[in-house]
């Protein structure tokens, strides 16, 4: 098109590169960096954070957005150019009210907090982590103060992870979700429990590696463009669609941790790898809504990975690589057993949502000053007692389990539960479009699903906010019903009952 758009793209391309640099600094810190590198890494993150922020909020960015917007006049709202201007202008208007020094300080504190958290978690020592969390919360409050237009403090944060979403709506959705989950969990607790002994035992890492490689290969993991490493808290990241980095962690006594962790992160990776080439090196070249992102990871992890259909594929692989002899039926039930547990990322699909509700409530209280950092462990433990009936005695299995707050990511957790709900809606829809999906999965053919997701979700990148995309794909807003229907159907099968 015209010059202003070219200039805007050029400027945003450099900013996208800086985003990749920031992600590499983080990936390296979580997978490769020796511990001694922490302080220098914090400074490097702060410097990149400040430069990115300064370049982004500069008047020049605004001028190019204005001119490019004018030149786009008349083009389709779905075109790359119009979408680029729309999405970037929204972010620019928010970001420019945050001083660069604060952005840098948040990056620095997040990096230092991460190192402190790794140590504190290993030593089961919340006290040593508390000052770093305190600092992150202080900075988060300063950040919120820059953004007075939001109705409530938490909205300013949530909007970074789930643009357009508000805390009040999340509360409404979570109330509905909790009201469905609590009786469901109770009903399951009252039935005969499943035998999950086949997933517990002794599983050498080498065998697990081979199992994970075999499964990821079916998901189209490509060694020329992807890699898999180990991390204390597994995550996925990408530096464009041709350099995708997954992580998992190995538990030698429970193989589903690494297997489903890897499938989960591969779901994230497929999203990033599936974004249209025309959007690469632009801010639209990475997915934006974390709820949508999580819908992909949870779908591959649970709706595919823990399905009765995929158990047919998995059972022989588990036999071959881990020496576990289990029928597909036994395996299917074992990996879907429902029981309250301490660790969110290893929770079953029914109790998972309650882990999120707890974090969402605690985050709001921390931010609003209704809960102090000193009192957080007690509040955490009491909530786990009330919601899940568990007595937390080890902070590594409690308040120190998650990486997010250490890095300053507050307002992020709700997107996990939203992701489950969105996955439920997409899962319902894809089955209508591909009636034979289950038999494809049973035959180990996963590319039909991947292509459908690529066509309907992945390729758009950050073009559309989550509500807009959902409207296009499922014809309505985010809803609890489909996920609950999926869950009742599946868990009824697992427990031989009607839920």
Binding residues vs a copy of itself (CB under 8 A)? 13-14, 17-18, 20-21, 24-25, 28, 32-37, 39-41, 43-44, 46-48, 50-51, 222-227, 239-240, 242-244, 280-281
Decide whether 31 or 381 has the Cβ nearer to a copy of itself. Answer: 31
Among 462, 471, 429, smallest CA distance to 303 is for 429
Minimum distance, C-beta of residue 28 to a copy of itself, in the bound complex (Å) = 6
Non-local CB neighbours of 89 within 8 Å, separated by 6+ positions: 65, 69
Quick one: 40 or 374, whose CB is closer to a copy of itself?
40
Task: Point out which residues pair with 244 in neighbouring strands.
Answer: 226, 238
DSSP 331-390: HHHHTT-----S-GGG--TTTHHHHHHHHHHHHHHHHTTSS-TTTHHHHHHHHHHHHH--
Contacts of 303 (CB under 8 A, 6+ apart): 423, 427, 486
Task: Rank residues 66 and 280 by Cβ distance to a copy of itself and give the closer one.
Answer: 280
Q: Are 107 and 46 in contact (CB under 8 A)?
A: yes
SS3 164: coil
CB of 145 to a copy of itself, least distance (A): 26
CA 326 to chain centre: 31
- Determine whether 116 is exposed, middle or buried from the number of CB atoms within 10 Å of its CB (0-12, 13-18, 19+): buried
**Residue 211, Ramachandran bin (φ over 0: left; ψ between -120 and 50: alpha; else beta):** alpha
Q: Phi then psi for 237, rounded to 5 degrees?
A: -150, 165
Indicate the residue among 52 and 359 with the shorter CB distance to a copy of itself: 52
Least distance to a copy of itself, CB of residue 396, Å: 21
Residue 264 CB coordination number (10 Å): 25
Structure tokens at 427: 């899962």
Q: Exposed (0-12), middle (13-18) or buried (19+): which is 253, by Cβ within 10 Å? A: exposed
Least distance in Å: CB of 353 to a copy of itself? Answer: 35
Q: Is 265 a catalytic residue?
A: yes
Could you tell me if 406 and 133 are in contact, meaning their C-beta atoms sit under 8 angstroms apart? yes
Which residue matches tokens 């898999």?
228
Closest CA to 166 of 175, 176, 156, 178: 156
- CB atoms inside a 10 Å sphere around CB 416: 23
242 vs 433 by CB, closer to a copy of itself: 242
By DSSP bridging, strand 236-238 and strand 244-248 are antiparallel
Tell me how far, at minimum, the Cβ of 243 lies from a copy of itself, in Å. Answer: 3
Q: Pick the catalytic residue: 81, 265, 272, 301?
A: 265
Distance CA 235, CA 266 (A): 9
**Beta carbon of residue 496, minimum distance to a copy of itself (angstroms, whole number):** 45
Q: Return the number of the residue (82 or 216) whose C-beta is nearest a copy of itself.
A: 216
Residue 324 to residues 195, 262, 357, 390, 444, Cα–Cα distance (Å): 14, 19, 35, 30, 19
Q: Give min distance, CB of 278 to a copy of itself, in A.
A: 15
Q: How far apart are CB 20 and a copy of itself at their closest, in Å? A: 5
CA-closest candidate to residue 350, choices 189, 487, 496, 497: 487
Nearest approach, Cβ of residue 117 and a copy of itself (Å): 17
Shorter beta-carbon distance to a copy of itself: residue 239 or 452: 239
Residue 14 vs 476, nearer CB to a copy of itself: 14
Catalytic residues: 265
């Amino acid at each position: 098109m015209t010059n202003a758009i070219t200039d805007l793209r050029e400027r945003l391309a450099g900013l996208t590169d800086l985003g990749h640099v920031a992600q590499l600094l983080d990936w390296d810190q979580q997978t490769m960096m020796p511990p001694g590198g922490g302080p220098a890494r914090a400074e490097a993150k702060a410097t990149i954070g400040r430069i990115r922020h300064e370049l982004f909020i500069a008047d020049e960015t605004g001028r190019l957005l204005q001119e490019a917007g004018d030149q786009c006049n008349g083009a389709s709202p779905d075109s790359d150019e119009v979408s680029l201007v729309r999405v970037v202008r929204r972010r620019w208007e928010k970001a420019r009210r945050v001083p660069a020094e604060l952005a840098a300080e948040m990056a620095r504190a997040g990096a230092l907090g991460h190192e402190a958290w790794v140590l504190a978690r290993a030593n089961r020592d919340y006290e040593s982590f508390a000052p770093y969390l305190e600092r992150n919360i202080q900075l988060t409050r300063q950040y919120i103060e820059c953004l007075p237009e939001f109705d409530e403090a938490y909205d300013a944060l949530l909007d970074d992870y789930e643009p357009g979403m508000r805390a009040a709506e999340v509360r409404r959705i979570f109330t509905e979700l909790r009201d469905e989950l609590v009786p469901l969990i109770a009903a399951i607790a009252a039935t005969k429990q499943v035998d999950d002994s086949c997933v517990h035992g002794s599983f050498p890492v080498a065998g697990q590696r081979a199992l994970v490689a075999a499964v990821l290969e079916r998901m189209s993991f490509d060694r020329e463009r992807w890699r898999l490493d180990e991390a204390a808290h597994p995550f996925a990241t990408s530096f464009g669609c041709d350099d995708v980095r997954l992580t998992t962690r190995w538990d030698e006594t429970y193989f589903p941790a690494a297997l489903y962790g890897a499938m989960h992160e591969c779901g994230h990776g497929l999203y990033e790898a599936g974004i249209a080439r025309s959007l690469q090196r632009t801010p639209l070249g990475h997915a934006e809504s974390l709820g949508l992102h999580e819908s992909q990871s949870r779908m591959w992890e649970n709706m595919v990975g823990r399905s009765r259909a995929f158990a047919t594929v998995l059972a022989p692989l588990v036999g071959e690589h881990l020496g576990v002899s289990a029928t597909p039926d036994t395996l299917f039930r074992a990996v879907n057993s429902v029981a309250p547990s301490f660790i969110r990322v290893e929770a079953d699909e029914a109790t998972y949502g309650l882990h999120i509700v707890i974090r969402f409530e605690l985050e709001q209280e921390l931010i609003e000053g209704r809960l102090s950092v000193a009192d957080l462990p007690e509040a955490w433990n009491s909530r786990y007692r009330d919601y899940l009936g568990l007595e937390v005695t080890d902070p590594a299995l409690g308040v120190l389990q998650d990486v997010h707050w250490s890095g300053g990511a507050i307002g992020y957790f709700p997107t996990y539960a939203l992701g489950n709900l969105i996955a439920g809606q997409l899962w319902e829809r894809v089955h209508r479009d591909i009636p034979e999906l289950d038999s494809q999965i049973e035959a180990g053919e996963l590319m039909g699903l991947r292509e459908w997701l690529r066509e309907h979700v992945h390729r758009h990148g950050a073009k559309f906010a989550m509500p807009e995309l959902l409207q296009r794909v499922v014809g309505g807003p985010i809803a609890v019903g489909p996920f609950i229907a999926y869950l009742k159907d599946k868990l009824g099968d697992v427990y031989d009952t009607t839920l």
